[in-house]
Amino acid sequence: MTTLRGMLTGMVGGAAGTLAMGQYWTKIAPLVQPESALPKKGPDQHSVAPLGQLHQPSESSTAALGRLGYEAFKGKPPRSDRLKNELSEGVHWGMGVMSGAVFGAIAGRQTGALAGTGLGAAFGAGLWAVMDEGIVPLLGLQDGPSAGNARGHLNRLGAHLFYGAALGLSVWALGRAGRALPGGE
């Protein structure tokens, strides 16, 4: 599989992974951390961002990034809740698809459904550790790791494992289907 083909396959797999992550958040996350067990939001005392907090209270990192991009483009903040949600979803899906492209470029030649799923889950765990627990808080797009409780961290890890497993399985399946087509590898 060429690098470009791997990236394209990974982008499709990233969309499947993003769908799986959404299902995790709606079906499994409430079982791990019920609404009643969520930490109460107060003033930010958990920022690890060297340049300061960029997210607003109760704003997710994807919503913060969407808002900041909109402000840079339009020169004013988004006003409606609908637009804020759409911007947040756009960032979430963009991150999922682009991360899938990276995975496809580096792992497009893996063989076997189990290997693809396991490699994808490891990739998802790496995204959680590097991005969710590291870079995103350092950029001020969310509170630092000390802001949440263990169940919150476990939920975010679980969501990323679901993302990665679906990504890896999808890339494997698409690669296998592509090899079966005329002119495939």
Q: Which amino acid is at 64?
A: A
Close Cβ partners of 53 (under 8 Å, ≥ 6 residues apart): 44, 47, 140
Query: pLDDT: is 51 or 9 the higher one?
Result: 9
pLDDT by residue (tens digit) across 129-147? 999 999 999 999 998 888 8
CB atoms within 10 A of CB 56: 11
Residue with tokens 């919150």: 152
Q: What does the angle CA 159 – CA 119 – CA 123 come to, to the nearest 5 degrees?
A: 50
User: Quick one: which of 154, 130, 121, 118 has its CA closest to 29?
Assistant: 154
Quote the pLDDT of residue 176: 85
Can you say how many angstroms the Cα of residue 138 is from the centroid of all Cα atoms in its chain?
17
Percent of the chain with pLDDT over 70: 89
Q: What is the pLDDT of residues 68-108, one digit of tens each?
A: 999 999 999 999 999 999 999 999 999 999 999 999 998 86
User: What would the pLDDT profile of 112-133 be if each residue is shown by its tens digit?
Assistant: 777 889 999 999 999 999 999 9
Quote the pLDDT of residue 94: 98
SS3 of residue 123 by DSSP: helix
Q: What is the pLDDT of residues 54-66, one digit of tens each?
A: 999 889 999 999 9
Going by pLDDT thresholds of 50, 70 and 90, the confidence category of residue 184 is low
Question: Whose CA is closest to 112, among 166, 55, 169, 51?
Answer: 169
Confidence of residue 40 (pLDDT cuts 50, 70, 90): low
Tell me, letter by letter, the H, E, C secondary structure of 59-99.
Answer: CCHHHHHHHHHHHHHHCCCCCCHHHHHHHHHHHHHHHHHHH
